[in-house]
Amino acid sequence: MRRLLPRVSFVVVVALQVYFIARGTSDPHKHFAWRPFNESDTWSADVDRITRDGRRIPIEEPWAGYVWGELVRQRGLGVPRGWRHASSGAKSTRAFLQEALDWVATHTPEDRETLYYEAQFHFTRNRRGPYTVVLRSVEREVP
Amino acid sequence: MTSSEVARHGLRARFDAIFDEPRSLRALGLLRIFVGPIVLLHLVPFLEEMAAGHYYADGFYSPWFAWFPEVPKNVYFALLVATIPAALLLTAGLFTRFAKAYCWGFVTWNYFLCQTHFHNNRTYLLVVLTALLLTPCGNVLSLDAWRARRRGAPLPEVAPLWAMYLLRFEALAVYLGSGGSKLFEPDWRAGIVTWDRVLRYRHLLEESIAPTWFVELLSEQSFHAAFAKVAIATEIFIALGLVFRRTRYAGAFVAFWFHVVIGVALAVQVFSYLAVAALLIWATPTVRDRTLAIDERTPEGKRLARRIRRLDWLARFSLVPGEGPPRLTEREGTEHVGGAAVARAYLRMPLLFPFVAPFALPGLRRIAIARLDRRWHS
């Protein structure tokens, strides 16, 4: 076993690394794929709360004791409006923004009026664009 | 046996040697010393967050695995702060087994707490720490080794280095993954990616001490059309250069300056420090396999011997008393005398290597050796 374990570990790590490098083409975050600086993307997002009565309110306005910038502080998502460089690529930022919308929707129990969150995610890729995609959070159960 | 069977047998023997043959731990011991401060530097953003009273789970975070263990904020802070002495112990080589296990444990756990903690430089740190964890790197260049010698039970300075060879593979994956992905990306090959980045940060260049002509040159698309190809070729050259013994010095030299340049020009956090330190793993894992005979009765000889003792961090040389100009006997028995011996010795000093390596090129070598020779014959 002492003889076999290092050999197996070695082969498994090599195989996994090759797999992750190949997977890097489809993974938005390019985990373990060693693909730094692969693109020059920029992004900006207009994030709104859509309330039960159909109002669309920008998240820049605090609500029910919550402040977007305090809820979401990672990867520059705390201030989504305004163009800036997407250091890990726009696909990665977009994936994190989608997760952030879902997280906020499920971690704001004091909010009794927001039905869901919606983001107009604008991005450019290697001087092309801008393109826009719409991201929407999970729908909340509002009492 | 047929020639293909012989080749297969040779390959199998080489593969087995990676796991069975004890080799010198010296390079890994030296790498361990450098990794301690790099771990500390990598903690800075987390310590800054802590100073502001925040941690990753205060707001949105994206766990890698739902089952991954988490702890309350105060415990997280305590574990984070405890990594500081552990990193210092790692460098000093005191209680090294505990120190490397703790550093590896915290860095790995913290990395997998949240997907936003993912950065290539942190991944590489994790890989390097794993290699250190799997080898008895505290047996050399450490206080543990010093204490063991004092007790009269010196620690073994050799061990099978399969984890180091795995680290070599990972280092190649870094350069080939990065260079290869750029090679297959048309926008990268055309220079659009680097050109766009420079245009976006041109205002910083204009505010810097860079002359106007240089800023204008960097802002030209045609410059990037050529530069991108050079950048891709550099990364691939580093990988291939490091693989083969004959080109390893060239690969390591280009890698060193490549990392210095990207460390200055780009926000790569600890990547450049780590990648430069990790170049040590490409040194052949044997020690004292070259003999350097120096006449220490002369002031020049005394100075040279002192310099070698101070800078021979990888223990390449066995210093012996000699007469006349320095005489270097290589691993395979070839001899070099005078300036040639000194030039070759300097090339094997990690601290001097990045500056003297170009003098190994044929034209420059002749000039360098002639200058060094004059010292020994004056």
**pLDDT digit string, tens, across residues B315-326:** 999 999 999 899
Instruction: For residue A100, give the nearest of B60, B174, B197 by CB distance.
Output: B60
Q: Where are the beta strands (DSSP E) in chain A?
A: 41-51, 56-58, 84-86, 114-125, 128-136
Q: Do A40 and B200 touch (CB under 8 A)?
A: yes
At CA B232, angle to CA B229 and CA B235, rounded to 5?
Answer: 145
Mean pLDDT for B202-223 is: 89
The pLDDT value recorded for residue B269 is 83
Residues of A within 8 A of B173 (CB-CB) are 17, 21, 34
Residue range A86-133, pLDDT digits in tens: 988 999 999 999 999 999 999 999 999 999 999 999 999 998 989 999
Measure the CA–CA gap between B363 and B84, rounded to whole angstroms.
48
Residue type, B245: R
Q: Given CB atoms, is A21 within the 8 Å cutoff of chain B?
A: yes
CA distances (Å), A135 to each of A94, A98, A128, B7, B286, in order?
A: 8, 6, 21, 57, 57
The pLDDT value recorded for residue B377 is 65
Task: Report whether A123 contacts A96 (CB < 8 A).
Answer: no
pLDDT at position B109 over 80: yes
Residue range B50-63, pLDDT digits in tens: 999 999 999 999 99
pLDDT at position A59 over 90: yes
Q: Given CB atoms, is B200 within the 8 Å cutoff of chain A?
A: yes
Domain ranges of chain A: 1-33, 41-136
CA distances (Å), A99 to each of A59, A92, A102, A137, B116, in order?
A: 16, 11, 5, 8, 11
Q: Given CB atoms, is B235 within the 8 Å cutoff of chain A?
A: no
Instruction: For residue A38, give the nearest of B116, B176, B182 by CB distance.
Output: B182
Q: What is the DSSP string of B227-259?
A: HHHHHHHHHHHHHHHHHSGGGHHHHHHHHHHHH
Measure the CA–CA gap between B316 and B290, rounded to whole angstroms.
6
Q: Given CB atoms, is B177 within the 8 Å cutoff of chain A?
A: yes
Q: Given CB atoms, is A39 within the 8 Å cutoff of chain B?
A: yes
The pLDDT value recorded for residue A130 is 95
Instruction: For residue A71, give the nearest of B60, B115, B177 by CB distance.
Output: B60
Q: What is the DSSP string of B170-216?
A: HHHHHHHHHHHHHHT-HHHHTTHHHHHHHHHTHHHHHHSS--HHHHH
Q: Given CB atoms, is A73 within the 8 Å cutoff of chain B?
A: yes
The pLDDT value recorded for residue B205 is 84
Distance from the Cα of B274 to chain A's closest Cα (Å) equals 15
At CA B285, angle to CA B291 and CA B37, rounded to 5?
Answer: 110
pTM: 0.92
Measure the CA–CA gap between B187 and B192, rounded to whole angstroms.
5
The pLDDT value recorded for residue B1 is 61
**Cα dihedral sign, B270-B123-A10-B242:** negative
The pLDDT value recorded for residue B161 is 94
Looking at every residue in chain B, the average pLDDT score rounds to: 92
Cβ neighbours of residue B93 under 8 Å, at least 6 residues apart?
B29, B32, B33, B138, B141, B142, B143, B144, B145
